[in-house]
């Protein structure tokens, strides 16, 4: 797969994710060779996030920030995951 095909495949995965076709996006993403690129890891994180696989999603978004420290989408997604994981409601503990 040449670099143009990889980019097109990543765009197609993103399109599928944005149109709530998560399973199709995941299947296509798994066929793409791993790349050391922010776009690749951003999509990986988004797919893992959709499936609530928090650990792999956090790792993918952190990898994005290693490559591109100014990536606001990865930063926002990490913030959202941390809010989910740190959610605490005392009323749920004392019915």
Is 60 inside any structural domain? yes
pLDDT computed for residue 88 by the predictor: 78
pLDDT computed for residue 65 by the predictor: 97
| Number of independent structural domains in the chain | 1
pLDDT computed for residue 4 by the predictor: 56
Is 25 inside any structural domain? yes
pLDDT computed for residue 2 by the predictor: 54
pLDDT computed for residue 68 by the predictor: 97
Q: What is this structure's pTM?
A: 0.84
Residue 55, CB-side half-sphere exposure with 13 Å CA sphere: 0
pLDDT computed for residue 94 by the predictor: 65
Is 93 inside any structural domain? no
**Residue ranges making up the domain that contains 16:** 3-88
| Residues contacting residue 28 through CB under 8 Å, at least 6 positions apart | 9, 12, 13, 16
Looking up residue 12, the CATH number of its domain turns out to be: 1.25.40.10
Is 19 inside any structural domain? yes
Mean pLDDT of residues grouped by 10 in the chain (95 residues)? Answer: 66 92 94 92 96 96 97 97 85 68
């Amino acid at each position: 797969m040449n670099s143009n095909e990889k980019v097109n495949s990543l765009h197609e995965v993103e399109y599928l994710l944005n149109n709530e076709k998560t399973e199709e996006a995941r299947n296509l993403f798994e066929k793409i060779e791993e790349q050391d690129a922010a776009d690749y890891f951003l999509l990986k994180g988004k797919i893992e996030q959709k499936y609530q696989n928090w650990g792999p999603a956090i790792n993918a978004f952190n990898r994005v920030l290693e490559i591109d420290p100014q990536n606001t989408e990865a930063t926002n997604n990490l913030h959202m995951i941390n809010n989910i994981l740190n959610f605490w409601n005392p009323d749920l503990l004392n019915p």
